[in-house]
């Protein structure tokens, strides 16, 4: 039997998880992949922000010693982090805290 192999080009597209990825589930757990976590400066904790006018959730890098700081716990073995933000779900019941079946990717702004 003669095989007719053909080489499949790799292309210039990045892997799915190489970009920034942040998600929140219905229990308020916010998960950041390593790329997003490092882009935010690899903080030990975050201040959790909510803008009701624009229905937007924000994470502001901070020290775990600061008041109202939510610690960033290790998530998985590839450098991701998770933030337990159940209080956000209970106090700000909004559509942004409910997981979407088709999330829209958004860029993570640089923090200065």
| Mean pLDDT, rounded, for 11-25 | 78
Domain ranges of the chain: 20-97
Residues 57 and 96 sit within 8 Å (Cβ to Cβ):
yes
> Cα(31)–Cα(80) distance, rounded to whole angstroms?
7
> pLDDT band for position 16 (50/70/90)?
low
- 61-78 average pLDDT score: 93
Q: The whole model's pTM is what? A: 0.69
Mean pLDDT, residues 42-53 = 93
Q: Strands of 73-75's sheet, edge to edge?
A: 22-24, 29-32, 80-84, 73-75
pLDDT grade for 89, boundaries at 50, 70 and 90: confident
Tell whether the model's pLDDT for residue 94 goes beyond 70: no
């Amino acid at each position: 039997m003669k095989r007719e192999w053909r080489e499949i080009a790799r292309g210039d597209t990045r892997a799915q998880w190489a970009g920034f990825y942040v998600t929140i589930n219905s229990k308020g757990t916010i998960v950041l992949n390593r790329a997003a976590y490092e882009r935010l400066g690899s903080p030990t904790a975050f201040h959790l922000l909510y803008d009701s006018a624009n229905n937007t959730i924000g994470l502001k890098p901070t020290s775990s010693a600061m008041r109202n700081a939510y610690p960033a716990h290790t998530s998985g073995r590839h450098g991701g982090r998770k933030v337990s933000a159940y209080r956000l779900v209970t106090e700000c019941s909004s559509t942004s805290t409910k997981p979407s079946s088709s999330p829209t990717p958004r860029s993570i702004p640089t923090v200065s």
